[in-house]
Each structure stands twice: as structure tokens, then as C-alpha cells.
Amino acid sequence: MTSMVRRGSFIWLVLHDLRLNWRRFLGMFGGASPAVAVGLMVAGALALHAVAWPMLPYLADHLSGAEPSPEGRLALGAFLICVASWMAAQGLFQATRTLYDRGDLDLLLGSPLSPRKVLGAKAVAIALSSLGSVAMLALPVANVGALRYGAHWLAFYPNLGSLALAATALALLVTIALFYVLGPRKARTYAQLGGALLGGSFVLGVQVIALLPEGLRTSLTQMLSPARDGADGVIGHVLWLPVRALQAQPIDMALLAVIAVVLFATAIWTLGDRFAGACLGAAGSPSADRRAGSRRVVCPDHALPVRRAQRVASAAA
Amino acid sequence: MRGAGPTAELCAAEASDEVYGLKLVNVGKSFGPKQAVAGIDLALKPGEFYALLGPNGAGKTTTLRMVAGLLKPDHGSVSIFGIDALANPIAARRVTAWLPDEPMLYDKLTPLEYLEFVAGLWDVSGRAAEQRAEELIEVLDLGPHAHARCEGFSRGMKQKVALAGALIHDPKLIMLDEPLTGIDAGIARQVKDLLMARVKAGATIVLTTHILEVAERLAGRIGIVAGGKLVAEGTFAQLKAAAGRDHSTLEDVFLSLTRPEAAAA
């Protein structure tokens, strides 16, 4: 597929990453043929759809339609916060790994491609990976919902994509900002710590809501729910945008998508050179540290440890 | 033979506007308090094979990474075939190849796919890339493995694939960091022959190696780096004369320049 697009283009780089990820993914099936691996994946997807089927009536009662119950809307908001925080956590982990594990960055940054293009392709790969980690569980619900209650459930697809782009932009911004503010070593630790906390909030958020006393939950619901007369105000309107988008409101879906794409593009455009600088910075000292432990000197056919080389030199003299 | 610092040759070249394959002027780099490279000057002509020697941590790799655009020097200038590599890094990278000591290969790609990808990075046209890939695969004897994924390859095989990748865009400046480490004699011979052919075609090659015999046999000039400085430079004969060891090996010369106490013992 990479041969169908212009070599060296952004899409070409993204397709290259996708090809590698696809082959790595197939490798997880222990040498099974692609056909067998795809068969197993289809079987797994069907199993997840079967699990989603009995859940749908409950979810549909609360979440579906243009005017769901306040509790339903609050639950939808909580779900989106959890999804976004999970994606941001995944983004932080992967952006950190990209910076420090380097992988193919020497090859890419040593080529005539612009750092922006390289960062853009890496960021798309991060966004797709973050999306994949949520999509596996969320999309069966959307598919079953679409089958049983209407096509508006398919709004999950574009909206999760928008959230993945926005979360990746945020993760890149945080990772690179930490690098420049705290330095390479501390930045790595803090980024991973932040990622763990954000990822944990996916589970913690759900538990906290479930454990709230009934009265408090009702008060919160009333406070956070949109005004029934539709007068949310500007802040309320913005805050509830993702929820409305998930309810398949076309204008809100489009608005969310535009915001996400603009955020993502701005992050790539403004951070491209800084990303390259951070990569080069991250490459400096760790390499020197790594080699300090294996100090060797030269001999004609092979390297010798320092002490042995000194003994050889002494004996020769 | 010269020590570190600007030379009469360099000054003359500047005056005559001679184009060098690689020219470094006072290039330096520090990592925090540690000075990795302390102002190196180099002037290599097109078609020159140059070996950069030095103990671990001497600054060889850091120097090459700065030339490859993978590290930004704190000071100094880098010129590659007349291109200011700091002002115009993209143009400089188009004519440069950099093979690190632990080259990155995509385990999930075959050598042919890898070469196709690298050619795409350097915008080599499809037909030309295919032709060069076939040539390199033949010269490096990679034919039987051209369609196998790199994940099962030995270090020597990986090194050959990475070298082919470095040469696919027909670079003018080729920098190789320990290209022969860990590969057997047969493969090493193939690599040496390939590099010499490139030099004859006008490419400039800078190579770091721990195998002094390679430097002695292949390089026209040898530079010895210690403590981030170029402590000596010249042909093998010039280095021996400078070290006062006319009948010694390059190893003796190297030790006398970098570890005088070991050489004197």
C-alpha cells in the first residue's frame, strides 16, 4: 500500500508505521498465518459484541436520544472524561517512549524529511494506538446500539477519533514541555507518573461516581446537568460539547472534529522542531552513560578490556 | 601531521575556496558539565578515506552525530561538499549517509522493503531505487535473504543491510561508526571492497573503528581523538614518525598518543 502514495510524503510515513504495527500485531498470534490471525480477531470482536448486546437496553434508556435523563448525560460525560484521560495517558506513555527509546528516529531525523513530518507521522501512530485501546471495548457497544436502536450510535466512531487526536496533541505538548522545563531525566519520570495517574483515573473515576452518596450524586447531577430550557451559557455549552457530539448532534460532532484537528495540527506545527531538539537532547547523555560501563581499547583484530590491554602493552615492551 | 587546531592547510583552503568533502571548524559539544568534543577541526577532500580513532568516550561518535545533524554543536561550523550543514541541514542530509554502531533495522521488514523505505526517505525515484537495491544486494551477497524479514538475521547480516540502506541514495559523504564490529572476515572483506569502490567514485568516507588494521589498510589519513580533541592527524607513516616509533604498529602509535603510560610501560 505504501507504493500507492508519494514516497516521503506524510501519508507514506503513516502507512509505513501502520504496516509495521500490523506486522507486530500479527506477530502476537505466534506465527499463525494472516488468515488465521484475522479469523481469531473476528471471533474476538464477535464475542465482544455478544457481551455488549444485553447491556444495550440499559444504556439506551439513559443515553440515547436527543434529550436523555440528566443522570444519563452525566454518566456519558463521566465516560468521556475517562476515555479522554485514558487516551491522554496512552499518549503520554507513547510520546515518552518515542523520545527516549528512539527506535527509528536516528534514521528518520537523519534523512532529508522535515522534523514536523516525522513528528506528525509519529503522532498519528500514537493517536491510532490510543484510539485502538479504547475502540476495542467501546465500538462493539456502538455497533450493537446501531443495530438495535438506530444509526446515531455510530457517532462513537468519529467522536472517539476526535478525542484521540485532541488527547495526543495534549500528550505531546505535556511531554515536550516537561522535557524543556525539567530536563531529560526528570521529564521521563514525571511523564510516566502523569500517565499512570491519568490512566488510573479511568478506573478511579468510575468507582468514585459509583461510591458517591445518593444525595450528593443527585446534587451533582443537578449542578452539572445542562439547563432544561437549553440555556447552558457559553461555558456550559463548551463543556457539554463532547457529550452532545456523542449523542450524534451533527453540528456538535463537526465542531468537536474541527477543534481536535486544529489542536492536533497546531501541536505538530509548533512542536515539530522542538520535538527534534528534544530527541537530539535525549540522545546525548544516556548514550555516554551506557558506554561508560564497557570501556575498551583497541587491538588489531579485536577489542580488549583496558586492564588486559595494558598487560599486553607491558609484556610487549 | 598536525595536532589539534586550525592548520595552514585549512587556511589555504579557505583562501582558495576549495570544496571539501567534509570541513569542521572548531566544532564542540558539551553534555552538562562534560565536554564531549572540545573544538575539533577537520578538512577532508572528496575521494578521501579517513579513519577517526580514539578510546571510548573520546568524542568520535558525538563528532559524527553532529555532522549527521543528529546533535547540534555548541559552537563551530560544519560544511559538507560546500553545504553549510547547520544553516541548511536538509540539503546536507541529502548527500550524507550515517551508519551508527548499532544500526536500527525494522525487524518486520525484509531487506528489500527496508531499502525501498530508506530510498523513499531520500526521495530516490522508484526505478533508480530498485536498481541500486539490486546492485547492493548482489555486492553484499544478501540475495538469498532479500525476501526474509530482518528479525532473524545475525549481527553481520543486519550490518550489511544497514550499510546497503546507508548507500542506497548514493551519498557523497559516508560516515560509518564501527561498521566492522562483530562481523566475520568474509563479510568484512565485502564491506571494505564496497567502501573502496565508493572512494574511487569520489565519495568521502569517515570511519571509526576499534580494528586498527582496518584503519591502517584502508584510510589515507588517520585522526586520533582523545578527551574530545584531535590530538594527532596524518598518514600512518606520519603518525609513526611523530610518535618516534618508526618500526611500530598503529596500535603502539595509538597507545603512545592516547595512553602514554601504557605505551611506555
Q: How close A37 comes to chain B (CA, Å)?
A: 16
Please name the residue of chain A whose CA is at the shortest distance from the CA of residue B114. Answer: A16
Q: Is B195 exposed, middle or buried (0-12, 13-18, 19+ CB in 10 A)?
A: buried
ipTM of model? 0.84
Q: How close A267 comes to chain B (CA, Å)?
A: 22
DSSP B71: S
Taking the C-alpha atoms of residue A36 and residue A3, their distance in angstroms, rounded to an integer, is 26
The closest of B179, B248, B254 to B209, measured between CA atoms, is B179
Cβ contacts of B122 on chain A, cutoff 8 Å: 8, 111-112
Q: Residue A201's CB: how many other CB atoms inside 10 A?
A: 18
Cβ contacts of B252 on chain A, cutoff 8 Å: 316
* Beta bridge pairs of residue B26: none
Contacts of B237 (CB under 8 A, 6+ apart): none
Smallest Cβ distance to A298: which of B32, B57, B251?
B251
Edge-to-edge, what's the strand order for the sheet holding B34-44? B34-44, B22-31, B75-80, B83-84
Angle between helices A184-211 and A70-101 (to 10 degrees): 160
Q: How close B123 comes to chain A (CA, Å)?
A: 6
Cβ contacts of A302 on chain B, cutoff 8 Å: 210-211
Cβ contacts of A316 on chain B, cutoff 8 Å: 252
Count of pairs with CB atoms under 8 A, one residue in A, one in B: 124
Q: Is B159 exposed, middle or buried (0-12, 13-18, 19+ CB in 10 A)?
A: buried
* Beta bridge pairs of residue B83: B80
Q: Do the Cβ atoms of B100 and A106 come within 8 Å?
A: yes
pLDDT for res A74:
73
Mutate: best of B67, B93, B117, B169, partner A, most A CBs <10 A: B117
Mutate: best of B56, B183, B216, partner A, most A CBs <10 A: B56
How much is the average pLDDT of B247-260? Answer: 71
pLDDT for res A31:
72
pLDDT for res A232:
58
Smallest Cβ distance to B120: which of A12, A114, A296?
A12
pLDDT per position as a tens digit, A117-151: 988 898 998 899 889 888 888 899 889 988 888 88
Cβ contacts of A284 on chain B, cutoff 8 Å: 31, 36, 62, 71
pLDDT per position as a tens digit, A146-185: 888 888 889 889 999 999 999 999 999 998 888 888 887 7
Instruction: Determine what percent of chain B is predicted with pLDDT higher than 70.
Output: 89
Res. B71: pLDDT tops 80: yes
Question: In sequence order, what E strands does chain B have?
Answer: 22-31, 34-44, 49-53, 75-80, 83-84, 96-99, 173-177, 204-208, 221-226, 229-234
Q: Do the Cβ atoms of A7 and B31 come within 8 Å?
A: no
Cβ contacts of B71 on chain A, cutoff 8 Å: 280, 283-284
Q: Do the Cβ atoms of A106 and B262 come within 8 Å?
A: no
pTM score, whole prediction: 0.78
Cβ contacts of A314 on chain B, cutoff 8 Å: 262, 265
Q: Is A313 exposed, middle or buried (0-12, 13-18, 19+ CB in 10 A)?
A: buried
Angle between helices A250-292 and B60-67 (to 10 degrees): 150
Q: Residue A250: phi, psi to the nearest 5?
A: -55, -45
Smallest Cβ distance to A300: which of B36, B108, B251?
B251
Cβ contacts of A280 on chain B, cutoff 8 Å: 70-72
Res. A30: pLDDT tops 80: no
How much is the average pLDDT of B24-42? Answer: 90
- Give the three cell numbers for residue A271: 512542536
Residue A235 pLDDT grade (very low, low, confident, very high; cuts 50, 70, 90): low
| A87 neighbors A134 (Cβ within 8 angstroms) | yes
Taking the C-alpha atoms of residue B63 and residue B81, their distance in angstroms, rounded to an integer, is 17
Cβ contacts of A313 on chain B, cutoff 8 Å: 255, 262-263, 265
| B147 neighbors B110 (Cβ within 8 angstroms) | yes
Residue A68 pLDDT grade (very low, low, confident, very high; cuts 50, 70, 90): low
Res. B247: pLDDT tops 70: no
What are the percentages of helix, strand and coil residues in chain B, rounded to 5? 40, 25, 35
Q: Do the Cβ atoms of A302 and B211 come within 8 Å?
A: yes
Q: Do the Cβ atoms of B251 and A20 come within 8 Å?
A: no
Q: How close B14 comes to chain A (CA, Å)?
A: 27
How much is the average pLDDT of B184-202? Answer: 87
| A292 neighbors B57 (Cβ within 8 angstroms) | yes
pLDDT for res A313:
37
Choice among A208-222, B21-35, B45-59, B133-147 with the minimum mean pLDDT: A208-222
